[in-house]
């Protein structure tokens, strides 16, 4: 058996022995199972690349350091995605058909009418006119905190309205 094959076998054995524990480690930190599995695979791939230097040291400490760094990186990316979602930078699917777009506009129009005038104005300025919190506050003559409050309340009401349009089977009412 060549040295390369021996290293491969050692890393595979280590992977089989520690995979479940490391996935649990990541899942307890809030990483979804599928992402945790990918991170674990990447960790052991990185171990294999450095196996000739790590095999006689505490390689699992190194592995957990990589896993922790990847977990932190995933959370930073997830936080940036959530930040964009909360501030109106939505990724709208390109393949929506015309009918669904019309239905969505009808529901949105109805839902907007149920908001207070300030909430409606805030939503229109922030998301339709794509204005920042500061610009919206200046336009409306209120504080940035008030704009954030109106936005939060309006989005909560719109979400409740949207949830009411979907039955438990996932079909529109």
**Overall average pLDDT of the 149-173 stretch:** 70
Average pLDDT over residues 133-159: 91
What does the pLDDT read at residue 106? 76
Q: Mind listing the pLDDT tens digit for each residue in 63-121?
A: 888 899 998 888 888 776 666 555 555 554 545 566 667 766 777 777 888 889 999 89
Distance CA 33, CA 39 (A): 10
User: What pLDDT is attached to residue 165?
Assistant: 58
Structure tokens at 51: 């196996």
Spatial distance between the Cα atoms of 7 and 31, rounded to a whole number of angstroms: 29
pLDDT the model gives residue 161: 76
User: The tokens of 173 are what?
Assistant: 């009412």
Predicted structure pTM score: 0.46
In this predicted structure, what is the pLDDT of residue 172? 45
Per the model's pLDDT, the better-predicted residue between 57 and 116 turns out to be 116
């Amino acid at each position: 058996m060549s040295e390369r094959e021996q290293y491969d076998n050692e890393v595979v054995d280590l992977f089989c022995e520690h995979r479940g524990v490391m996935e649990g480690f990541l899942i307890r930190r809030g990483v979804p199972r599928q992402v945790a599995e990918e991170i674990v695979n990447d960790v052991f791939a990185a171990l294999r690349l450095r196996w000739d230097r790590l095999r006689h040291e505490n390689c699992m400490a190194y592995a957990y350091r990589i896993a922790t760094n990847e977990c932190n990186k995933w959370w930073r990316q997830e936080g940036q995605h959530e930040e964009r979602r909360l501030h109106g930078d939505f990724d709208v699917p390109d393949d929506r058909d015309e009918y669904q777009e019309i239905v969505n506009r009808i529901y949105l129009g109805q839902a907007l009418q149920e908001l207070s005038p300030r909430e409606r104005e805030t939503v229109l300025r922030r998301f339709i006119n794509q204005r920042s919190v500061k610009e919206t506050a200046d336009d409306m003559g209120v504080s940035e905190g008030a704009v954030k409050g109106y936005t939060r309340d309006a989005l909560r009401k719109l979400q409740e309205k949207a949830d009411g349009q979907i039955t438990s089977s996932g079909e529109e009412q």
